[in-house]
Amino acid sequence: MQIDKILPVSKRYLLLANAIVWGAPGVKVFLTGLKSYFLLDTSASLALLLLGSALVICCFVMMFRKIVKKYSDRILSFQQKKKSLLCFLPPRGWVLVIFMMCLGITLKFIPCIPVEFFACFYCGIGPALITAALMFLYRFFITK
C-alpha cells in the first residue's frame, strides 16, 4: 500500500498538522515551566531565570524558524494535490519529534535536575514551539 493513500489531504492541511504538532506540546511545556516558576522562592535569582528563559526563546525561535521554512517549502513543493497526512513531517522530522518527546519525558524523571532548570528551559522552549506553530499557521492561511 502506498503511503499517499492513507488519509489523503491537501498540502495546506499538512501545514495545519505541523502547527498542531508543534503548538500543542509548546503549550504543555510552557505551562510546565510556569508551574516550576511558581514553585521557586521569589528572590534576586528570579531575574536571572527570566533572562535565561528569554535567551532560550531567542535561540530556539531562530532554530525553529529555519525548520519551519524547510518543512513548509518541502510540503509546498509536493507535485501531488493530496498527500498522506503522515507526510507532514519528513522521516528525519519524525525522528526529531520522537527524540525530543522522549528527552522531555526522561528529564522529568531525573531527580537531580533542579526546578530552576525546568522553569528557565521550559518557559523558553514552550513559547519557541508556539511561535513555530504560529509560523506554520500563518503559512496555512496564506496558502491557497
Residue 101's pLDDT is what?
A: 87
Residue 49 makes CB contacts below 8 A (sequence gap 6+) with 37, 40, 116, 119, 120
pLDDT of residue 65: 94
pLDDT (mean) for 48-53 = 79
The set of long-range contacts for 76-80, using a CB threshold of 8 Å and a minimum separation of 24, is 76/11, 76/143, 78/11, 80/4
59-69 pLDDT tens trace? 999 999 999 99
Average pLDDT, the chain: 88
Q: pLDDT value at position 36? A: 85
What would the grid cell of residue 141 be? 492561511
pLDDT tens readout for residues 70-104: 999 999 999 888 888 888 888 888 898 899 889 88
Report pTM. Answer: 0.86
